[in-house]
């Protein structure tokens, strides 16, 4: 009777290099689904350290029992990522198509329009790969070396499964730098969109710049939090800080807000937000203010401005553990400056997309800031990323987004 893959290396995988966990590495976590191996957990001898970034290898534990097929990048802190429990798996167009089809089936069940995050990295079985879909166009972020090396079969499978006619590779961002990958944005299939792409969400039209905007051009992850905040905004004066291309502001207007002021440091982002407001029919209720968010919050405070709903959705202040303390202080400062702008009985929505700041730490920092701003509060809502951003239970980093809605008294 043949041995199981966990106990031996199949003949089909015999030609692949083998990498081995160190004695103190937690092989049990890998067996139970944890997808990463850190540099201090892997034996990096001359042979394994010389593997080309993105190489495929068979991972074994200290007793030489096979754990699966991994991709290796000796230059990265995450030195190995689990690709397949079958060490003989071939990473072909068909392999990619199977995973993309599984991801697509869930999104098509969840959403009536083809605008969503199609692939959410490890949680969808494609480590380090993010794919956002905008109708017939998809934006791929290959944030790991193996995905960069396999971009052609990945794109071919994406077109095969979804029918998209344009694919843009967005090779930018912090994650690629950690993998030693260059930055580039290039259209790898079809024709680059000449204009921003309109995306309908929660009754509003957002304009997504797929080649020059932040990340993939639009943040789908806040969709459900936008919808909740829109319920608070009926008849309200709304302030949306760090709005990007309209974010919470446009959703609030779709929900019946009296007016919305959108604040961002980026003039191009605010221009897209204004186009979205016009396309949605809200131009007469929508205004913008360009500037540093902290400075604008302070200016509004000096002006004695008051809003029924204030939302602050900043970038990641704590993208990694070394930045955690500084990041939490920044979240506290946002809450302290924003709280006085909320009218009595109004609402303050605070968000964090920081991997390193867990929900409890973020909530505590926000509550401290609200208290320092002279206000009392109650939490009425806790939100996370939308369902098109599934969480891998074994990987806390896949559940990065937190949103808190506070009702403020006195």
Euclidean distance between CA atoms 353 and 313, whole angstroms = 8
Tell me how far CA of residue 379 lies from CA of 223, 280, 366, 406, in angstroms.
Answer: 20, 31, 11, 4
The pLDDT of residue 213: 80
Q: Under CATH, domain 197-409 is a member of which superfamily?
A: Vaccinia Virus protein VP39 (3.40.50.150)
Calpha distance 89→69 (Å, rounded): 7
2-40 pLDDT per residue, tens: 444 445 555 445 689 999 999 988 888 999 999 999 999
Domain ranges of the chain: 11-84, 93-189, 197-409
| pLDDT single digits (tens) 114-164 | 999 999 999 999 999 999 999 999 999 999 999 999 999 999 999 999 999
Q: What is the pLDDT of residues 192-225, one digit of tens each?
A: 999 999 999 999 999 999 998 888 889 999 999 9
Q: What is the pLDDT of residues 265-301, one digit of tens each?
A: 999 999 999 999 999 999 999 999 999 999 999 999 9
Catalytic (active-site) positions: 353
Q: What is the pLDDT of residue 250?
A: 98
- 337 neighbors 376 (Cβ within 8 angstroms): no
What phi, psi does 370 have (nearest 5°)?
-60, -45
- CATH 3.40.50.150 for domain 93-189: no
pTM (predicted TM-score): 0.93
Terminal-to-terminal C-alpha distance of the chain: 74
Find out whether 273 and 243 touch, Cβ atoms under 8 Å.
yes
Instruction: Spell out the residues 6+ positions from residue 105 whose beta carbon is closer than 8 angstroms to its own.
Output: none
Query: Within its chain, how far is the Cα of 308 from the centroid?
Result: 29
Q: Which CATH architecture has domain 11-84?
A: Roll (2.30)
Q: Are 185 and 168 spatial neighbours (Cβ–Cβ below 8 Å)?
A: yes
Residue 186, Cβ density class (10 Å: 0-12 exposed, 13-18 middle, ≥19 buried): exposed
| Residue 107: pLDDT over 70 | yes
Residue 10: the pLDDT is 58
Give dist(CA 309, CA 219) in Å, integer.
21
Residue with tokens 């689990």: 82
Answer yes or no: is pLDDT of 227 > 70: yes
Local confidence band at 89 (pLDDT 50, 70, 90 cut-offs) = very high
Q: What is the pLDDT of residue 173?
A: 86
């Amino acid at each position: 009777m043949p041995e199981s893959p966990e106990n031996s290396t199949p003949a089909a995988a015999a030609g692949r290099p083998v990498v081995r966990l160190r004695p103190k590495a937690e092989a049990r976590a890998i067996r139970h689904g944890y997808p990463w191996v850190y540099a201090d957990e892997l034996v990096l001898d001359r042979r394994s350290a010389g593997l080309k970034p993105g190489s495929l290898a068979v991972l074994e534990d200290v007793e030489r029992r096979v754990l699966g097929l991994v991709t290796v990048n000796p230059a990265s802190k995450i030195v190995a990522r689990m690709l397949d429990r079958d060490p003989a798996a071939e990473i072909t167009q068909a392999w990619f198509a199977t995973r993309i089809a599984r991801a697509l089936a869930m999104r098509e069940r969840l959403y009536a329009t083809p605008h969503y995050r199609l692939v959410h990295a490890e949680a969808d079985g494609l480590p380090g790969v993010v794919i956002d879909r905008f109708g017939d166009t998809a934006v791929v972020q290959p944030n790991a070396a193996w995905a960069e090396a396999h971009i052609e079969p990945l794109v071919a499978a994406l077109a095969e499964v979804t029918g998209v006619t344009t694919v843009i590779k967005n090779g930018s961002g912090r994650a690629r730098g950690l993998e030693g990958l260059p930055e580039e944005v290039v259209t790898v299939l079809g024709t680059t969109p000449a204009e921003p792409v309109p995306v309908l969400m929660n009754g509003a039209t957002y304009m997504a710049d797929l080649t020059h905007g932040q990340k993939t051009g639009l943040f789908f992850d806040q969709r459900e939090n936008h919808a909740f905040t829109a319920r608070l905004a009926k008849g309200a004066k709304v302030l949306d800080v760090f709005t990007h291309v309209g974010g919470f502001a446009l959703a609030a207007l779709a929900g019946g807000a009296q007016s919305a002021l959108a604040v961002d440091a980026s003039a191009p982002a605010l221009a897209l937000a204004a186009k979205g407001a016009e396309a949605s029919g809200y131009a007469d209720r929508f205004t913008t203010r360009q500037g540093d968010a902290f400075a604008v919050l302070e200016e509004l405070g000096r002006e004695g401005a008051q809003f029924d709903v204030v939302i602050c959705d900043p970038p990641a202040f704590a993208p990694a553990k070394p930045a955690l303390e500084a990041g939490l202080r920044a979240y506290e400062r946002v809450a302290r400056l924003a709280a006085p702008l909320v009218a009595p009985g109004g609402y303050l929505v605070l968000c964090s997309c920081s991997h390193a700041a867990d929900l409890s730490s973020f909530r505590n920092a926000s509550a401290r800031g609200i208290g320092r701003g002279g206000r009392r509060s109650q939490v009425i809502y806790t939100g996370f990323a939308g369902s098109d951003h599934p969480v891998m239970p074994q990987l806390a980093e896949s559940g990065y987004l937190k949103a808190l809605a506070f009702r403020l008294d006195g």
